[in-house]
Structure 1
């Protein structure tokens, strides 16, 4: 799954006498409570594995739509604002993937390309947006947009496999919301959602999902309207690991319309 601005807090300088120290402190405290904390140091980003754990408790009961536990950085950029360098890097990587298919060491070459892209935040953002906005995919990659989406999925999985799962998690949550609300999406956006969900589940062999199915899927954007896609993702990731009885006992809520 992706993927997480300095704030300024006014500093109040004051001088107070020994007699008025209590009143002065109370006044300062009241000011700091009501003044926006624009300058407090930004909270450290949660570890990738905490995304679901932090969101699940408040989602388990109703499975209602909700944003991720932390503020998502995913936005749909206007085409003119796209970084030329990020576009060029993404196109080069796409050409590299295409060329690698013809080589016996294609897996090693593709891994090298993914490692290079993973060090480029602008390219990561562009490829994520390719998955959640049809216009970005069309304007940036034209007739090669389907291949670009495959590259984006591979990159997000690569990031997750190397300890950076939030871009994949946030992209999944954002795409689930956009599929529900409508908008300019890729024709196979639902299939992309299924692939991302299956990738996340497979990262820990389904342990987090099986420990708390409703909380886990709720934290990853589950909506009733998307139940068939979440069923598909779960089935692909867990196929053959559970008995039919155990599967339906754990995931019965995915079949309740």
Structure 2
């Protein structure tokens, strides 16, 4: 149930008289990274509710963020989600060109340099994770068997920390569900929760689901704001 495309999801529908309440986290991996690194520029952007992809595009293009267009925002987004796990110059070149953003390896290398210069604490965190004897998630999980220099070291603390917060959210939600026997937890997909509830209880379910997901993740993210996207639908399609 983890890999269905949107074209298939529209055929998943609730029973008659019910609706789906669907909630997922907004840019959770970047938020976890900002917290792990103590990256002030990124934290400030999240605290102020700014578009982090526009912020990154403005920083690497050295341009006024208010003048960033959609194509430039796309660049910022691809750079953010590539650099979060320390993509190589070659890897970034390949990713950007595949997305129709034409760059040379030299240009991609310069983009990497500008990203790390814009977010210096992420650069420091990456170096620490690649060389430390033991790496840890925010919740305290430890790994001491991954070879130094392996890029998996950049991946695990972020995904594990997000998973820790998500499990806390699920625990809170399941506790609440005992009071609503007609509600069903249909699926849990990556950072998304899907509930099926009676139509006349949809708003209440929305309130409880949103509260559970935010409070659960706040046990992990103490500084960076937690934002969720939530909706009520008659099918699973986004």
- Flag whether TM exceeds 0.5 (same fold): no
For normalisation by structure 1, the TM-score amounts to 0.23
Answer 1 or 2: which has greater helix percent: 1
Answer 1 or 2: which has greater strand percent: 2
For normalisation by structure 2, the TM-score amounts to 0.25
